[in-house]
């Protein structure tokens, strides 16, 4: 059994429904990930993700209206208050400042509904359908200052069918996102991720424990 004190404290940034947050909360509660969600921070006071955090008994904060620099400084203060080691973006709809990314370098994770570097930004499913790709997927990566850029940790794929819409594609991607994000965080909390030259390598479990 993993003791509470040995669990990596995670902070989760959200803006909306919070299904990836729920997947992370569940994985931590079930011991799949050797981490604990120490706080949840939202850019949207009406986000349903807030209810998920409160139901799990996790400290929840709503960001004030502020400049990007002030907002990110506030986030950093909250994360440090809770001794957070890893920061998870889970549908967080704000660009982080370069200063924030520098402060948390190689400790900020994002999930994006495409096979990066393809289809960055908003409406990734629409972009995939417009491009006529036959396969798309999701990507978990370390965050860099530019949007949807950074070392790729893990990807998962799904076919794109002729009758797909943005909604059907998005719904098929969601369970992939949940599983992929959880796996990436499991590796992180087990100290199995190494970055070399902006490439991510997963080291064997035995080596991580040695």
**What residues are labeled active site?**
112
Task: Answer yes or no: are the C-beta atoms of 115 and 139 closer than 8 Å.
Answer: yes
Question: Where are the extended beta strands (E) located within 43-180?
Answer: 60-62, 86-90, 108-112, 135-142, 152-159
Dmax over Cα atoms in the chain, in whole Å?
A: 50
Rounded CA separation 94/59 (Å)? 21
> Both tokens of residue 62?
């709503």
Task: Answer yes or no: are the C-beta atoms of 18 and 48 closer than 8 Å.
Answer: yes
Rounded CA separation 45/15 (Å)? 8
Hey, which residues does 141 pair with through a beta bridge? 110, 152
> Both tokens of residue 63?
């960001």
């Amino acid at each position: 059994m993993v003791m509470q004190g040995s669990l990596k404290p995670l902070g989760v940034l959200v803006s909306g429904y919070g299904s990836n947050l729920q997947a992370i909360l569940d994985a931590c509660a079930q011991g799949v990930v050797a981490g604990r969600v120490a706080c949840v921070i939202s850019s949207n006071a009406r986000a349903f993700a807030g209810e998920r955090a409160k139901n799990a008994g996790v400290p929840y904060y709503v960001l004030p209206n502020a400049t990007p620099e002030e907002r990110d400084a506030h986030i950093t203060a909250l994360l440090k208050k809770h001794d957070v080691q890893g920061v998870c973006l889970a549908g967080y709809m704000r660009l982080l400042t370069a200063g924030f990314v520098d402060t948390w370098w190689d400790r900020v994770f994002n999930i994006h509904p495409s096979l990066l570097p393809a289809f960055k930004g908003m409406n990734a499913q629409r972009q995939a359908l417009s491009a006529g790709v036959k396969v798309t997927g999701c990507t978990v990566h370390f965050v860099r200052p530019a949007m949807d850029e950074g070392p790729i940790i893990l990807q998962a794929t799904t076919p794109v069918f002729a009758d797909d819409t943005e909604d059907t594609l998005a719904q098929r991607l969601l369970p992939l996102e949940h599983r992929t994000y959880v796996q990436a965080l499991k590796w992180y909390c087990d100290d199995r991720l190494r970055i070399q030259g902006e490439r991510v390598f997963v080291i064997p479990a035995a080596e991580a424990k040695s």
